[in-house]
Structure 1
Amino acid sequence: MEKKINQKNRATRRRIAKLIGIPVLLFVSGITLLSLAFFDNVSYAFYISRMFFPQEVAIAQTNLNDSSTVVEKTAATTQLSFPKYGEEYGTLSVDAAGIVSPVFVGDDATQLLDGAGQYYGSVFPGDIGNTVITGHTNSVFKTLDEAQIGDEIRLELSYGTYVYEISNIEIKSNTDDSILAPSEEQILTLYTYYPFDYIGNTPDRYVVTAKLIEGKPLSEINFQGAS
């Protein structure tokens, strides 16, 4: 008799546990999902709001006036560190368009919030090939269309200074892979979304191509770890 009572009590406790446990589990799961959605939305809202800040806000965080001094001091050391993904490694200047911007390795949303970003699949300045740098039309490259053929683009990098002369300006489809195409020359490609005042997914890209006229080859620079 006592055994039956104990079995009955255990069964009752299991039913109670289920009745209480399932709602609690659902409640906790719901809170977790809502929290994840909340933080995801906050992160996205932060990203969108940063896109519409004046680029001067991001640039003000970097002392660009001292960039040349930093380059000179770095170049004076025995060895230099090769730029790594995500790092800020220099300053881009296009005087004719009033552009002065930090340059980062990589062109994902994180880098493009704070300046111009180099496509990681492209060569670094000083190497033979196509160096591809992009930026938002509502920030760093909002005046890129003011630059003309013959104007200079200057890159003050952690390992040296590179000067390019604009040789071509054109508008290409957003599906045109030639923007990223390799080259047998040392060229620089700047591109941004087009039209500049378009809201939404832009159909085209504004592409500026420039040829190197001054700069030291990468092969002549003593990077740490290089053989």
Structure 2
Amino acid sequence: MKCLIVAAGQGARLREKGELKPLISIKGTPLIERVIGRARDAGVDEFVVVSGYRGAELRSHLDDFSAREQVRTTHVVNDEWDRANGVSLLKAKRHLDEPFLLTMCDHLVDPEIFRSLMAAPFEPETVTLAVDFNIDNPLNDPEDVTRVKCSDGRIEHIGKVIRDFNAFDTGVFLCTPIMFAALEESQANGDDSISGAMNVLARWRKARVFDIGSHPWVDVDDPIAFGKAERLLESGQL
């Protein structure tokens, strides 16, 4: 199975740690290499990486990494990287005509999340989001994460500022190509984000959820989250 990694944004909130977010070193290893390594541990055998901000630098690094580690990697260039993250997915559409994993270059997750999501049964023409129902866990900031309202295994609503929610979006998805139709519909309505597409899928009753249980994950989006990820890596929990 292929894994699409979104790595196009500027990552300004982590600028004090490095100029190019995917290549910021955490415990001696660039973030994006850790993301790729975890997906490979779960059985992913090919990657599609969307780059944008300082993309030539990232692509050069990944070419060296891919050659060294024998990782099959396809590059997609997003020259509209200052728009919302759904634009990056649409740029990769022609490379993904079968079910695929989707994740972000700054989300460090337990490989078991990838593994279990890929092994779980899913319906054709749906998208499944791995969600964390442990919303009282201090590991991820509830004011920063994307919130999800789930019911009977389906997404009802998703967004940063929704008030009625019972889970967090981990940034890990199992997609079918219907995701691209939802992205196009959302974009036509003025929302370029992945969450916008998931809300479209929710209206179509095509958005599913997968409970990650107690498996850890961190959105390494600012210095505080970076410190939490470092401590989890040091302790062997992540």
Q: TM-score, normalised by structure 1?
A: 0.28
Which structure is higher in RCO with an 8 Å CA cutoff and minimum separation 6?
A: 2
Larger radius of gyration: 1
Q: TM-score, normalised by structure 2?
A: 0.27
